[in-house]
Amino acid sequence: VSAPIDESLPKSSLGKGSLNVINSVASENVISKSEGGFPLEDGFVSDAELEAKAEEVLARYPQQFAAKYSSAVMPLLYLVQERAGYISNKGVTWVADLLHTAPVRVLEIATFYTMYHRKPTGYYHIQLCRTLPCALVGAKDVGSYIKDRISKDNPLIEGRKLWSYEEVECLGSCGTAPLCQINDLYFEKLNTVKVKDLMNSLADTAHSIVANARLIGEELRLSSIQESFGNGILKFPPSQIR
């Protein structure tokens, strides 16, 4: 259906060319016919590398119970999401086959847990914490700014939206509230001025750096931006997560 992500690309210099490659996966999903709001046809493709990762994940759990329980279902779903940016029906089937279980057993996990996305997200997926400690110190204003900005200006870059936004429950960083998580990183002690600067920087760099760490496993070069926003704790970028 579509080309898998080209791993031969030099990871340190992923420029516009590589965005094209990623988007060939994502854009197909967006334009395909859908059922119940979810893309039906999708570009999820497994390959030797992904199969090897899956093997490693399956080996983590006590083998004597592996036939009866699907402990690896959550990390396997993360592998799918990392590859395709969201969890497509093909991805669900791939996981079910690995676990020798019915796809619906995997689907119920993918829909129960909120961190699995059944639709493609934007390059930058903003999750704003809305719970009490953040609400006490101004999360609502930050949220209003983000929502307002995205409603007015959310360019489609090669088939994929720049931003997506959701309000989430307590992110466990109430001491540096209000905060949001963008892709894998926390951006803390926000206010409307800081979030505006942050979004400006991210929008400027969107075309030149890889926006989504989950897609590529590339070290996220947002760290310099993050440091300038005074997030002392998360100094260096997370490596590939699974």
Partner 1 sequence: MAQHRQVLLKNIDFPDQAQLSGYESRDGYKSMRKALGIAPAELVELVKKSGLRGRGGAGFPTGLKWSFVPQNTGKPIYVLMNADESEPGTFKDRLLLERDPHACIEGLMIAAHALNSEWACIYIRGEYTYAYTVLYKAIKECYENGYLGGNIFGSGRKLDMAIHRGAGAYICGEETALINSLEGKKGQPRLKPPFPAIQGLYDCPTVVNNVETLAALPFIIENGAEAYLAIGTEKSPGTKLFSASGHIKKPGVYEVELGYPLLDFLNNECGGMLEGSELKAVIPGGSSVPILRADELKNITLDYESLRDAGTLLGSGGFIVIDHKTDMVEMALNLAHFYAHESCGQCTPCREGGHWIEKIFNRVSSGAGLPGDIELILSACSQIAGHTICPFGDALATPAQSFIQKFPEEFKERIKDLL
Residues of the shown chain interacting with partner 1 in the complex, contacts defined by CB under 8 A? 60-62, 64-65, 68-75, 77-78, 99, 108-109, 112-116, 130-133, 135-137, 168-177, 181, 184-186, 233-234, 238-239, 241
Nearer to partner 1, 138 or 159 (CB): 138
Q: Shortest distance, CB of residue 173 to partner 1, whole angstroms?
A: 5
Owner of token pair 């940016």: 85
Q: What is the 3-state secondary structure (H, E, C) of 125-171?
A: EEEEECCHHHHHCCHHHHHHHHHHHHHHCCCEECCEECEEEEEECCC
Cβ nearer to partner 1, comparing 89 with 173: 173
Smaller CB distance to partner 1: residue 41 or 61?
61
User: Closest distance between partner 1 and the C-beta of residue 105, in Å?
Assistant: 8
Between CA 168 and CA 125 the distance in angstroms is 12
CA distances 9 to 14, 20, 135, Å, are 7, 12, 43
Least distance (Å) between residue 159 CB and partner 1: 26
CB 81, min distance to partner 1, A: 9
CA distance 223 to 200: 15
**Cβ closer to partner 1: 131 or 201?**
131
Bridge-based pairing of strands 163-168 and 124-129 is parallel
